[in-house]
Amino acid sequence: MTVEVDEGEFVRLTGRYRRELLVFCYSMLGSAEDAEDLVQETYLRAWRSFGGFEGRSSPRTWLYRIATNRCLTALERRERRPMPSGLGGPAEDPETPLTTDPRVVWLQPLPEGMPGDPAAVVERRAGVRLALVAAMQHLSARQRAVLILREVLAWRAAEAAEVLGMTPTAVNSALQHARARLGRAAAVEEELTEPAEAGRRALLGRYVTAFENADVAGLVTLLHEDAVMEMPPYLTWFAGRAAVIGFLERNCLRTPGGFRMVPVSANGQPAVAVYEREPDGAYRAHGVQVLTVRGGAISRLDTFLDPGLPAAFGLPATA
């Protein structure tokens, strides 16, 4: 017998959770594209089974159970998505040749929700900072799910257990193991302080101005002495302000006007879409940089060299 499904009721009960499910799936998978696919699949499965939904759990718990199962299944056949620093040590010489490995599938940034989106608050609160998502790639899939549900979404052990098909005791044990494996990455995240919105805009503005003007001295004043720069898909990365500035000066900051930058937000952090000037004078999409701020200065520059990324932020291919 076919059960008639009330589309309006389905949207009313489930529509509000789409963005937070996207954030959850991204934290699990490390890919905005894969997360979007999993959310679409989650809603398709929920729609197909909505006629049998009897309200024994909340719609949110029901959706998370579907999404979590889909993520766990997906992770069974996928490699973790690292950042370069997770694969080897930094290069000491700014003139070190850049190397790649086509076998590596890299972590991706997550475009932030629209202003006023309640899920954007969740993004800023925890969960999707690049350093933390990169560290979570070293956890097992189930540990990752437990950590996100318990630490990021602040679910009770019993709620997480219901979603994961575990006992509360097993959930708490998995959480302890996940915390232990995160180690230093979690400690670093606790030290980070997001500047107030005005300070965030001002710092980002100074960075954009210095970079676009090839102002090396200006960039020096904005970076921590222990600043780090990573550039997927390159394996090569640099640690220390001197090495970072040395690389940028040799490869990017040769002349003013070589790049244009459009401020955006990713992973709850300040970011820019990067456009590079071509020989014909046009500025074409080059990638996205995500900045990590600590103590009023930039401690990390995560540059994702993918010309297709600005489109994910709603931006054109040229600027």
Every domain of the chain and the residues it spans: 7-191, 197-312
| Of 168, 167, 159, residue with least CA distance to 65 | 159
In this prediction the pTM is 0.88
Q: How far apart are CA 150 and CA 58, in angstroms?
A: 17
Check residues 4 and 55 and name the one with the higher pLDDT.
Answer: 55
What pLDDT is recorded for position 191? Answer: 46
What average pLDDT does the segment 258-282 reach?
95
What average pLDDT does the segment 179-201 reach?
63
Q: How far apart are CA 283 and CA 285, in angstroms?
A: 7
Looking at CATH, the fold of the domain delimited by 7-191 is given as Butyryl-CoA Dehydrogenase, subunit A; domain 3 (1.20.140)
Q: How far apart are CA 248 and CA 270, in angstroms?
A: 20
pLDDT over threshold 70, residue 260: yes
Q: How far apart are CA 291 and CA 109, in angstroms?
A: 11
For residue 264, the surrounding DSSP H or E stretch is strand 259-266
Q: How far is CA 162 from each of CA 59, 167, 265, rounded to the nearest angstrom?
A: 13, 8, 34
Residue 79 tokens, joined: 């490699």
Are the beta carbons of 266 and 288 closer than 8 angstroms? yes
pLDDT over threshold 90, residue 259: yes
What average pLDDT does the segment 57-79 reach?
93
Q: What is the mean pLDDT of the chain?
A: 89
Architecture in CATH of 197-312: Roll (3.10)
What pLDDT is recorded for position 71? Answer: 97
pLDDT over threshold 50, residue 113: yes
| Maximum CA extent, the chain | 73
Residue 61 tokens, joined: 């718990």
Are the beta carbons of 152 and 27 closer than 8 angstroms? yes
Q: Residue 187: which pLDDT band, with cuts at 50, 70 and 90?
A: very low
What average pLDDT does the segment 275-302 reach?
95
